[in-house]
Amino acid sequence: MLTDLDDENITRDKACVPENAHPPAGEYTLNLTTITYVTDQTITSVSREKRVFKPLADFQRQANLGSMAAYKKLYAESVNSPENFWKRQASEHLVWRKPFRTVLSWKPPHAKWFTGGRLNVCENCIDKHLGTARENKAALIFEGEPGDVRTITYKQLHFHVCRLAHIFENMGLAAGDRVAIYMPMVPEAVIAMLACARVGAVHTVVFGGFSPEALKDRINDCKAKIVITADGGWRRGKIVELKANVDKAVEDTPSVQTVLVLKRCGNPVTMHNGRDVWWREAWEGAPNYHKPKAFDSEHPLFILYTSGSTGKPKGVLHTSAGYLLGAKLSSHYVFDLKDNDRYFCTADIGWITGHSYVVYGLLSNGSTIFLYEGAPNQPEPDRFWRMIDRHGITILYTAPTAIRAFMRWGDNYVLRNRLDSLRLLGSVGEPINPEAWMWYHKMIGKGRCPIVDTWWQTETGSIMITPLPGVTPSKPGSATLPFFGVVPRVVDEKGHEVPRDAGGKLVITKPWPSMLRTLWGDDERFRKTYFGDYAAQGWYFTGDGARQDKDGYFWIVGRIDDVLNISGHRIGTAEVESALVSHPAVAEAAAVGRPDELKGQSLVVFVTLKTGNEASDALKETLRNHVGKEIGALAKPDQVRFAAGLPKTRSGKIMRRILKEIAVGGAVKGDTTTLEDFSVVAALQNEE
């Protein structure tokens, strides 16, 4: 399953082949490699890719891991002797108050890692750096969209977090209580997360682009006791009124006792006596030191909601020790972290990338993270490039959607900046197409920066399949090889491994420390969603389609369920459909994705109207805005298509496969024997 690339020769290493894998034997030469994409359940070849980029010798010499032989040795240990491997990693990388007794207790689908051990996640991110050379090092460098800049050292970050921890306890917050964080991308959002970890509270960060209704649903699902927000945040020169959204959300959230409000923009807000507290007022008089308590290895750290195909968001639960180890170890190796790095991840902390690779993974390594509040094209499309030069950013981790936007805006915005501080680039959120990879490599990396094209999920907690920058020859568009302890397979519906270069379902066959533990309040849904398809084998089903090429490299080809990946954000079709049907003019709706050069997928909705309502361009815009209000702007449909009827099976199920084919303008293929009314399809094909 794993390979060694020496120049352009690939040789099989039997010691590194995971259990039950069957790679072809012998020696291979890199040649044509087919890139594939998922359309419904069918994987289709659309282009060929044969370029390979070896790690540069200068980079390899200084890398944290600098040879394929070293990688293969560690990987072999991690999958063949996982308890020894993870025992050593946990002992070396984490600060324990009480040592763990057992590395892993695995009763599929439930894993417990490092049982008996006790630690504090916040202590591992801040306190351990005090009294060292990192104490006065910048932990956070922040630039707001208006241009304001702040630098916070590890010592200062400790001071801020300790004060907020005392404020939490004075508000009656106890270990295990939930805190909802709905903030702009400012240092106080990071401080709030760390203060929760310090006192053992469970945070749920909600992306600031979500609507009051979506925020309310998440607060009620986890029964948050405190909501932390700001008066507003800056986005494209305008104020996003976060506090006003919170006010609407908490009208129907009985669990909320306190709303803590940061003054960021100075816009007028309504403060409710007995519930709302200004951050600065609570801050005054709070002690400067807070002794962190030790919590069990499996103590809940955070809940992060991700879209599901049933319409109700899934509250993914991550716990303390295993998650932190996964985030820390992967950050160290994947980003090849050095003490003088300045790291810029463009993800909002409302997403898992912001949790793992803005906050926990980087701070636990003692790194300097750069935070930016606003839009990448405010005031001009070279904002990122100017900030990289201004702050000496060395590592950039962003999404293919952003890269494609930069390409569309033009090379001139890049060329007016030096970008000579950059030494490593990363991609996250969705598969990157080779054209975008090459542009990123040439224009941003100047041909000298390795690109780590990472695959992982909210549920996995940390990076699972990735190049290592001093090790792995890269193929544009491929996530390449698994990280330590990760055993992926590409299988068919029955769990049989498919031949090389044939598409199938991506599963992970062995547990890993940062894996989700359950879905908050719904363990049965957790079982069915992630382990139901392959329960007998105890395999985690990723929901993604993939293939493994003849060289052992993994190519992720997209979602195979009803969750869309739009600009790197997962949007549940059922959520969109529910929002549309809540409009008084709509009788029925179906949402599907179609390929989009910029966003990866765009959202197309088919709508039937109630009697007495007429189709019009004005109503299309009204429905787009209605979805934005109900869910958030990122879920606004790109196209609204009115229909007299929707294609259904005889049992009444909407045939989304047919709608997907119509959305892309292609012929309807495949089995239509269960279609109830063929005239519906003909009418849809003739419209627009």
Q: What is the mean pLDDT of each run of 10 residues along the chain (688 residues)?
A: 35 31 29 32 41 95 96 98 98 98 98 99 99 98 98 99 98 98 98 99 95 94 99 96 98 98 98 97 93 98 81 90 99 99 97 97 99 95 98 97 88 96 96 88 97 98 98 95 98 93 93 99 96 94 93 88 76 81 88 88 92 93 94 92 83 77 79 66 76
Every domain of the chain with CATH number 3.40.50.12780 lies at: 121-303
Backbone angles phi and psi of 58, in degrees to 5: -60, -40
Q: Residue 308 — φ and ψ, nearest 5°?
A: -120, 165
Asked: is 121-303 a CATH 3.90.180.10 domain? The reply is: no
**Distance separating the N- and C-terminal Cα atoms of the chain:** 47
**Pairwise CA distance, residues 341 & 361, whole Å:** 14
Other CB atoms closer than 10 Å to residue 139's CB: what's the count?
Answer: 26
How many DSSP H helices and E strands does the chain contain?
Answer: 21, 35
Torsion angles phi and psi, residue 249, rounded to 5: -65, -40
User: CA-CA distance, 217 to 457, in Å (whole number)?
Assistant: 22
Query: Could you give the angle at the alpha carbon of 444 between the alpha carbons of 438 and 450, nearest 5°?
Result: 65
DSSP 250-274: GGG-TT--EEEEE-SS-------TT
379: left (phi over 0), alpha (psi -120 to 50) or beta: alpha
Task: Using the structure block, give the residue that is written with the tokens 């012929």.
Answer: 667
What radius of gyration, in Å, describes the C-alpha atoms of the chain? 25
Q: Find residue 541's DSSP bridge partners.
A: 507
Residue type at 203 in one-letter notation: H
CATH 3.30.300.30 domain position(s) in the chain: 580-686
Question: Under a CB-based contact definition with an 8 Å cutoff, are residues 293 and 200 in contact?
Answer: yes
For tokens 């044939």, what's the residue?
502
CA 143 to chain centre: 22
Q: Are 461 and 516 in contact (CB under 8 A)?
A: yes
Cβ atoms 20, 509 nearer than 8 A: yes
CATH assignment of 580-686, given 3.30.365.10, 1.10.10.60, 3.30.300.30, 3.40.50.300? 3.30.300.30
- Point out which residues pair with 300 in neighbouring strands: 319
Closest CA to 542 of 504, 592, 591, 596: 504
pLDDT for position 225: 99
Residue 428 in tokens:
């996250």
Backbone angles phi, psi at 335, to 5 degrees: -95, 0
Q: Which two tokens stand for residue 435?
A: 């054209």
- How confident is the model at residue 4, as a pLDDT? 35
Residues 6+ apart with CB under 8 A from 165: 195, 198, 199, 290, 292
Q: Specify the pLDDT at position 94.
A: 99
Residue type, 530: Y
Q: What is the pLDDT of residue 524?
A: 97
Strands (E), 146-247: 149-153, 178-182, 202-205, 226-230, 233-235, 238-240
CA distance 494 to 436: 35
3-state helix, strand, coil in the chain (%, to 5): 30, 25, 40
Q: Which residues pair with 464 in a beta bridge?
A: none
Stated as kind and residue range, the H or E segment containing 275 is none
Q: Phi/psi at 487 (nearest 5 deg)?
A: -120, 90
